[in-house]
């Protein structure tokens, strides 16, 4: 068994919360760390990208006392809680006595974090960080692959990420890829417009049309993948690290919500 903050220290071995604080100082927004503290005993841990009603139900079936998410369980200020509101999952977690910890931007940018994992699974071997926070830490990865077509690269992405929900734009040869986990549209566009990346192909999620338009007009191929898919692979790697590290009879399990994959 761990005390809650002892367990948080274990999580921070992989993704220190100091990364989130530094990103906030630079102008980003985040809410990572202990979100709900119902008690101080961590014995059974449930990992889920989101704190959804489905995830909370599965966590209770597992007998969990603590849930670890990627997306913050509380992201924006909450005006009310109720069984008919949008925060039902949070209310259920609180009423059920669950602790909730969220590891968001710090896990995105960590040296083996979600952004790095996305580039790895897409074929990145020698990877350059586009927005560096420190050595091996940052957001946006650029890497070269064996030259292929957009359609073939789309198939590779779909296969590697185990999803059929991939959209491709452009028809230039794919040689250099810049990937941004999660909703990286604004970061991708800034990197292209500021000359930070000269990649011919951008991979990210949640692109607004004006961002897609600007990228395509600038001659880039664009591959759009679901936000959940862009981050689930890396979050699973985080879980595997934690599952290997935990001791003292503590158990952990992982939940992937197939609705979004």
Mean pLDDT of 125-145: 97
pLDDT of residue 79: 85
pLDDT of residue 248: 85
Q: Can you state the angle between helices 53-62 and 88-95, rounded to 10 degrees?
A: 20
CA distance 21 to 191: 22
Q: Which residues pair with 5 in a beta bridge?
A: none
pLDDT of residue 196: 97
pLDDT of residue 82: 80
Residues in the chain: 261
Which is more confidently placed, 83 or 211?
A: 211
CA distance 31 to 33: 7
| DSSP assignment of 108-168 | HHSTTSHHHHHHHHTT-SS-EEEEEEETTEEEEEEEEEEEE-HHHHHHHHHHHHT-S--EE
Express as a percent the part of the chain with pLDDT over 90.
95
pLDDT band at 83 (very low <50, low <70, confident <90, very high): confident
What is the model's pTM?
0.96
Using an 8 Å Cβ cutoff, are 194 and 173 in contact?
no
pLDDT band at 80 (very low <50, low <70, confident <90, very high): confident
| Complete domains list, the chain, with CATH | 4-107 (3.40.1390.30), 111-228 (3.40.1390.30)
CA distance 15 to 113: 7
């Amino acid at each position: 068994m761990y005390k809650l903050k002892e367990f948080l220290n274990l999580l921070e071995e992989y993704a220190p919360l100091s990364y989130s604080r530094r990103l906030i100082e630079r102008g980003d927004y985040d809410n990572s760390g202990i979100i709900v503290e119902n008690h101080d005993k961590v014995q059974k841990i449930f990992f889920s990208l989101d704190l959804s009603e489905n995830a909370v139900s599965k966590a209770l079936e597992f007998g969990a006392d603590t849930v670890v998410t990627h997306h913050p369980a509380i992201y924006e200020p909450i005006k009310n809680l109720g069984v008919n509101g949008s925060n039902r999952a949070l209310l259920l977690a609180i009423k059920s006595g669950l602790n909730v910890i969220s590891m968001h931007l710090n896990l995105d940018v960590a040296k083996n974090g979600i952004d790095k994992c996305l580039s790895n699974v897409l074929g990145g071997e020698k990877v350059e960080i586009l927005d560096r926070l420190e050595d091996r830490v940052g957001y946006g990865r650029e890497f070269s692959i064996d030259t292929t077509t957009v359609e073939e690269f789309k198939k590779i992405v779909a296969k590697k990420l185990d999803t059929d929900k991939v959209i491709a734009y452009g028809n230039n040869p794919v040689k250099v890829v810049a990937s941004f986990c999660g909703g990286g549209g604004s970061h991708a566009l800034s990197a292209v417009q500021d000359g930070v990346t000269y990649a011919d192909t951008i991979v990210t999620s949640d692109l607004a049309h004006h961002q897609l338009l600007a990228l395509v007009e600038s001659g880039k191929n664009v591959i759009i993948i679901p936000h959940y898919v862009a981050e689930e692979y890396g979050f699973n790697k985080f879980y595997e690290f934690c599952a290997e590290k935990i001791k003292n009879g503590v158990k952990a399990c992982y939940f992937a919500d197939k609705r979004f994959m």
